[in-house]
Structure 1
Amino acid sequence: MPLSTRALFRAPLQPEPKSRSQAVPAGRRQPESPPHSRPLRIALLGYRSNPYCGGQGIYIRYLSQALARLGHTVDVISGEPYPELPPEVNLIPLPGMNLYSYAKPTQGLKDRGLHSMTDVLEYASFISGGFPEPYAFTRRLAAFFQDQRPDYDIIHDNQSLGSGLLSLLRAGRAVVSTIHHPITRDMNLALANEPEWGMRLLIRRWHRFLAMQKRVAPRLSRIITVSEQSKRDLIQDFRLQAKDISVVLNGVDTDTFAPRPDIRRIPRRIMATASADVPLKGLIHLLQAVSGLITDYPDLELVVLGRPKANGPTARLLNRSGLHGHVRFIHGLSTDELVQEYARASLAVVPSLYEGFGLPAAEAMACGVPVVATDAGGLPEVVGNAGCIVPPADATVLAAVIRSLFNNPESLESLGRAGRQRMLSRFTWRRAAEETIGVYRQVLEELGS
């Protein structure tokens, strides 16, 4: 397809701030105030920030809100899909190709056009099986900073780790990044569960961006991660130094994710989250456990927040096992609808083979739902002794624990109360924001800002 076709080169899209008249934050710094006490001007970055799918949009939304409520000025600079933000947080959109929102990439090309070399590179990588969004976003980000020269104390990247961040470092800016977990873990699990060599090649191609992330991460001012396990994995997989990593546990919105006593729990209804139909989420093992339980519990129902691939491993297992009558998939829920689903569940299961943190476990516990989770990744740090921990990829043990809980309603109630209390005492977004500010100030002090 010729790139000079007029239909492809329309006027470029310009970032439009959500609530301010200019994209660059207004106001001036107050250098007479010491950096350890004055409010900070923070740019929080997200290459994509879907508020309902995956944890990145949730992290952006709640951390930005908590930082703003501590008195700091926060701008979120995000690619599409954009996050939902509170009024006190400003959105600076950086639109790109957003090709994952189209059923056919050619339709995305027709709608968006190619307006820059970044667009060309993003489209070429996408149609050849790559994942270009982190790289393309930070290229646009670097151009935005060069053009607008916004005034921030700290720039906080949310796991894009794109090479465009290096230009900000060269300009003397303080740049930190949250790495929820190294995506090397996702790739290795996907490869281990894929027998076809052609698909294995595609998996490796899609994860080519990891080479960029491994190159960029050690050069940033500081890395924030969300569990001690993720810290250990980053040291191993990304060759980071322990002294350069700060652990700040995520929070959970305990006001929104809360028990709903007006909604009746349905006995033997299990809730699970599988935001992606990939081996990492361990849904296959939960389905195998359910298959072994339905003889004794014919009314057992598994409600999965997610959508399986049409011919993916989940669909194939459902077709073989005859579980269709016991498994229901839901997606596109509002937050309130999700809380209602938790309120109806008698048990939540997080069967993941790896999680850097485990937000679904935290949300379920905040809702007072007893939780069974694997000991994979950071999940034990979230669940603690307020839930049941099982080994990953072991359907037999998982089924035995579920059976034991179904037969002991008192244990279910006790775990539900303990989980709620654990979230209230240790997993608030205010605590996460305060610790994050502590990291910012340490970085600024080290840089002499």
Structure 2
Amino acid sequence: MTAEAMEAGPRKGSGADDDRPLRIALLTYKGNPFCGGQGVYVRHLSRELALLGHSVEVIGAQPYPVLDEGAGPGNPRLTELPSLDLYRSPDPFRTPKRDEYRDWVDALEVATMWTGGFPEPVTFSLRARRHLRARRGDFDVVHDNQTLGYGLLGDLGAPLVTTIHHPITVDRQLELDAAPDLKRRLSVRRWYAFTRMQKRVARRLPSVLTVSGTSRQEIIDHLGVRQDRIDVVHIGADTRLFSPDPAVPEVPGRIVTTSSADVPLKGLVHLVEALAKTRTEHPGAHLVVVGKRAEDGPVAQAIERYGLEDRVEFVKGITDAELVDLVRSAQVACVPSLYEGFSLPAAEAMATGTPLLATTGGAIPEVAGRDGETCLAVPPGDADALAAGLNRLLGDAELRARLGRAGRERVLRKFTWAQAAKGTAERYREAMSRSAATNPGRPAATATYSGSHR
């Protein structure tokens, strides 16, 4: 099957009662939408699947997913599958009290943390397997959101579909490349030890979804998954929320980006350097970063080195409406990432009609489109190119308006959550048909769960 065929949208004739509403278990080991793209994915996909008439139960651990109400005949609902929450604020890497331990999985979680590893993918998968097996018959399909843990191998009582946004081995390599010394490199290797498990699990998965053609190739190259097991279903922006609003005033010189200062992959340090260069031509240029500020590290050092303490602002914990208005108010939205498996910030900025400056890292060009048509595109990791793009956009109102209009039209045409939900549901039915063909004796799920949930 070609990549073009897999990206063409929903396919008919997959069997498994094409029109019957499905009962979906959507798993996420880290689901808060303010913690990254996985939480955004769960929130919007669950809402749009519910609007299609499906029953969606999100099963997640801390930080718990935020789900939208008012979606279709039945809201997506949350079932909490708690971890020990070892990385919570304000006491991350905490040691649990004796009465917090419930079973051997909890002990494994703490022991992995103590040795410098990240335990949540494997421990969540083990808890999820136990939960799903106890509820055999409640679901038509199980959808895992990139846990890729050992516990999800074997019989879960329903066919398994797994989303891999992009291989975490990419993040691992970029952090290793950015590590300043041997001590930091050893720490990175310990933290990312779970990627060995994810690679072993991924190769055994029958049905993988990913969000871009670039991620599909990375999954083949990095994880060794067979290409005929991978389907591309693009995700997108909530275009009802992220939309233009002429009533929101444009702030001269404002540049907006979404990034955490402690994640090298996001390329923020290069944007800070570009801002310093841009201010020689546009003294009013300033940067608003939606994300976490690091008190030390390359970004903090760059801000201090270039004297930008009052020109770079970090904001966290803002509402959806505040985020949208912030993006609308910017003269430029920027995605300086070294790599992205998709880039929701790019799609969301384009949906508001804000002109986009983005790198060509990873799948960003699939989202942002052609340089000069729907965005300005520059090579990743190139502060001079970013500065040139910023200068060009800040100095040309007509170019900003043209790119803003074209960007929104592109998102409406290709990248919406409604389209993502339709494509995902079709892949569910294909997985169910394959499972029925290979397990003809397995009875269909018929039970209705009435247990507690949030």
Taking structure 1 as the reference length, the TM-score comes to 0.89
Any residues of structure 2 matched to 1:196-211 within 5 Å, and which?
Answer: 196-211=181-196
Contact 1:54-1:275 within 8 A present in 2 as well: no
Q: Would you say 1:75 and 2:60 are equivalent positions?
A: no
Structure-2 residue corresponding to 1:331: 316
Output the aligned Cα RMSD: 1.6
Query: What secondary structure does 2:403 align onto?
Result: helix
Q: What is the rounded CA distance, in whole Å, between the counterparts of 1:34 and 1:444 in structure 2?
A: 6
Structure 1 residue 123, shift from structure 2 partner: 1.1
Contact 1:97-1:119 within 8 A present in 2 as well: yes
Structure-1 residue corresponding to 2:96: 109
Residues 394-449 of structure 1: per-residue CA shift (max 9 Å, x gap): 11111112111222110001111111111112111111111111111111112226
Structure 1 residue 362, shift from structure 2 partner: 0.7
The aligned amino acid for 1:76 is: V
Q: Would you say 1:395 and 2:383 are equivalent positions?
A: yes
Q: Would you say 1:424 and 2:409 are equivalent positions?
A: no
In the alignment, which of 301, 306, 314 is matched to residue 321 of structure 1? 306
Structure 1 residue 111, shift from structure 2 partner: 9.2
Structure-2 residue corresponding to 1:375: 360
Structure-2 residue corresponding to 1:134: 121
Residues 280-338 of structure 1: per-residue CA shift (max 9 Å, x gap): 00001111111111122111111011122221211111122211121111111111110
Structure-2 residue corresponding to 1:270: 255
Structure-2 residue corresponding to 1:437: 425
In the alignment, which of 54, 60, 84 is matched to residue 97 of structure 1? 84
CA 1:276–1:59: 2 relative to 1, 3 Å: farther
Contact 2:340-2:363 within 8 A present in 1 as well: yes
Query: What secondary structure does 2:231 align onto?
Result: strand
Query: What secondary structure does 1:99 align onto?
Result: coil
The aligned amino acid for 2:300 is: A
Deviation larger for 284-293 or 103-112: 103-112
Structure-2 residue corresponding to 1:64: 46
Mark the runs of 5 or more structure 2 residues left unpaired by the alignment.
1-14, 70-74, 438-454
Q: What is the rounded CA distance, in whole Å, between the counterparts of 1:62 and 1:348 in structure 2?
A: 22
Structure 1 residue 214, shift from structure 2 partner: 0.5
Residues 87-120 of structure 1: per-residue CA shift (max 9 Å, x gap): 3111111011111114435756139711111111
Residues 179-233 of structure 1: per-residue CA shift (max 9 Å, x gap): 1000111111111111210000000000000011011112122110000000011
Structure 1 residue 267, shift from structure 2 partner: 1.6
Mark the runs of 5 or more structure 1 residues left unpaired by the alignment.
1-32
Structure-2 residue corresponding to 1:222: 207
In the alignment, which of 100, 112, 131 is matched to residue 144 of structure 1? 131
Contact 2:141-2:428 within 8 A present in 1 as well: yes
The aligned amino acid for 1:395 is: A
Structure-1 residue corresponding to 2:4: none
Structure 1 residue 237, shift from structure 2 partner: 0.2
Q: What is the rounded CA distance, in whole Å, between the counterparts of 1:268 and 1:276 in structure 2?
A: 21
Q: What is the rounded CA distance, in whole Å, between the counterparts of 1:172 and 1:147 in structure 2?
A: 9
Q: Would you say 1:291 and 2:276 are equivalent positions?
A: yes
Contact 1:387-1:419 within 8 A present in 2 as well: yes
Contact 1:97-1:112 within 8 A present in 2 as well: no
In the alignment, which of 26, 38, 57 is matched to residue 44 of structure 1? 26
The aligned amino acid for 1:216 is: V
Taking structure 2 as the reference length, the TM-score comes to 0.88
Query: What secondary structure does 1:198 align onto?
Result: helix
Q: What is the rounded CA distance, in whole Å, between the counterparts of 2:157 and 2:226 in structure 1?
A: 22
Aligned length: 415
Q: Would you say 1:187 and 2:169 are equivalent positions?
A: no
The aligned amino acid for 1:39 is: P
Identity of aligned residues (%): 46
Moved over 4 A (4+): 105-108
Structure-1 residue corresponding to 2:246: 261
Structure 1 residue 268, shift from structure 2 partner: 1.4
CA 1:139–1:217: 2 relative to 1, 3 Å: same
Structure-1 residue corresponding to 2:9: none
Q: What is the rounded CA distance, in whole Å, between the counterparts of 1:440 and 1:40 in structure 2?
A: 9
The aligned amino acid for 1:425 is: R
CA 1:171–1:400: 2 relative to 1, 3 Å: closer
The aligned amino acid for 1:355 is: E
Structure 1 residue 150, shift from structure 2 partner: 4.7
Deviation larger for 33-42 or 152-161: 33-42
Contact 2:261-2:268 within 8 A present in 1 as well: no
CA 1:132–1:163: 2 relative to 1, 3 Å: same
Structure-2 residue corresponding to 1:10: none
Deviation larger for 349-358 or 296-305: 296-305
